[in-house]
Structure 1
Amino acid sequence: MEIDWKIVPAAIWRRYRQGLRPVEAPDPIRWEDLHGIDTQKEKLAHNTERFLAGKPANHALLWGSRGTGKSSLVKALLNRYREQGLRVIEVDKEDLVHLPEIVDDIRQRPERFIIYCDDLSFGDGDPAYKPLKSVLEGSIELPPENVRVYATSNRRHLMPEYFSDNRNTTMEDGEIHPSEAVEEQISLSDRFGLWLSFYPFREEVYLEAVDALFPDVQDREALHREALQFALARGGRSGRTAQQFYRMRSGEIR
């Protein structure tokens, strides 16, 4: 169906209908709801503001530990800048083969588009990264000026890395020459000019996120004790863990 981008802030590619579906209820997460990732927020906001202003801006790769706010940051970005003309199109990794067609339909529009790929990674021999490469850097045709790709991943290089990949690495005249497998892995992630790293929360950052979710709780000591026990059972401290704790105990802790 035809998307009215003047009023629709986001859309999702649906393979069964071979088209975009407007997002009727965007995630309402706000910029100020995200805690513990201030540096990442600042850098992504700066890049996005340059993009919206028509200045040179990079594609962005948000990589690192699970549950640390990578996806939430992109969703909050839409809510923060949608009134300034930012639009987001979410495309699953399996649907990247359709990316050139998606981009063809929007390259002449006045809005600025983020192609959002969540949890992006590629297996051995996976050809899906090739259409992505053409959008990141162009082919015989220049890449569209009004489109940038923001991807999240647990892998820095988006592809599996094996010890055996390094066996064919050589040294000539003091210079290291990576094997072709390593070069292939790095070449894709290198096309993202902005890398943002996400790590498990330190204890004080995790508790800061918990405090923000429970602003009216009086007994902070009991709240923190329960929150830390919950994180220990979950196997890690993150913004996602804090949210899950909130959903379980909201309205019950005084």
Structure 2
Amino acid sequence: MSEYDFKKIEISLDQIVGALERLSPPPSQYPSFENHDAFVWNTAPDHLKPVIQVSRVELDLLVGIDRARDILLENTLKFSEGLSANNALLWGARGMGKSSLIKAVHQKIIDQGKSLKIVELQREDLASVSRLLDILRTSSQRFLLFCDDLSFSHDDQHYKSLKAVLDGGLEGALKTSSSMQRRIEDI
């Protein structure tokens, strides 16, 4: 092949690469927090994926958990208003409504006209939570970090990542988790 042929191939490959990048651009790490209330944290590559339709039930439909509901709602509402609040761990058997309660409380606060974003992250992604917090720091929004079905084995290193977030982290982020284990020592 001649140098001219190689140049034509190179130009064609550059055009193909450009077309592919336009068709499937890399996801932005920094989504528009104003346009969505819910996000999922993905780590391959690091980015927040907006959730268009959150699967949730109305808060009033959750029965038998009045005390937990009232405490979590009051705590999360205070947080959404910029007041002091506690991180929360909801524990109980599978199917008791822990995750449903967290999502329903979030929606109730949104319905009251408060600005609060919820970010779900997987237990396997706890090691990346500092990178997530770096992204959240770019916004003045308040964030509810939600980790569903949190559990650890005794030698699990993800515990250290969670502990670091609970001990410090971002002032504008409240951590809520659900677990089937009651004692934090078990986690």
Q: Structure 2-normalised TM-score?
A: 0.78
Q: Residues 28 and 61 of structure 1: is their aligned pair in 2 closer, same or farther, counting only changes over 3 Å?
A: closer
1:212 aligned partner: none
Q: What is the identity, as a one-letter code, of the residue corresponding to 2:79?
A: F
Is residue 2:145 matched to residue 1:119?
A: no
1:98 aligned partner: 128
Q: Give how far 1:51 is off.
A: 0.6
SS for the counterpart of 2:48 is strand
Q: Give how far 1:76 is off.
A: 0.6
Q: How does 1:141-220 map to 2 (within 5 A)?
A: 143-158=169-184, 185=185
Q: How does 1:30-41 map to 2 (within 5 A)?
A: 30-41=58-69
Q: What is the identity, as a one-letter code, of the residue corresponding to 2:69?
A: K
Q: Give how far 1:23 is off.
A: 0.5
State how far apart, in whole Å, the 1-side matches of 2:176 and 2:153 are: 20
Q: Give how far 1:17 is off.
A: 3.1
8 Å CA contact 1:29–1:79 kept in 2: the answer is: no
Match of 2:94 among 52, 66, 69: 66
Q: Give how far 1:90 is off.
A: 0.5
Match of 1:25 among 34, 53, 63: 53
Tell me the C-alpha RMSD between the 2 structures. Answer: 1.6
Q: Residues 28 and 126 of structure 1: is their aligned pair in 2 closer, same or farther, counting only changes over 3 Å?
A: closer
SS for the counterpart of 2:157 is coil
8 Å CA contact 1:107–1:145 kept in 2: the answer is: no
Gaps of 5+ in 1: 159-184, 190-254
8 Å CA contact 1:97–1:131 kept in 2: the answer is: yes
SS for the counterpart of 1:20 is strand
Q: Structure 1-normalised TM-score?
A: 0.59
State how far apart, in whole Å, the 2-side matches of 1:118 and 1:3 are: 22
State how far apart, in whole Å, the 1-side matches of 2:75 and 2:95 are: 23
Bigger mean CA deviation after superposition, 147-156 or 80-89: 80-89
Q: Give how far 1:28 is off.
A: 4.0
SS for the counterpart of 2:34 is coil
Q: What is the identity, as a one-letter code, of the residue corresponding to 2:40?
A: I
CA deviation string 1:62-100 (max 9, x = no partner): 001111110100111221112411111101000001100
2:6 aligned partner: none
Is residue 2:93 matched to residue 1:50?
A: no
2:160 aligned partner: 130
SS for the counterpart of 2:118 is strand
State how far apart, in whole Å, the 1-side matches of 2:82 and 2:138 are: 14
State how far apart, in whole Å, the 2-side matches of 1:156 and 1:35 are: 20
Q: What is the identity, as a one-letter code, of the residue corresponding to 2:183?
A: H
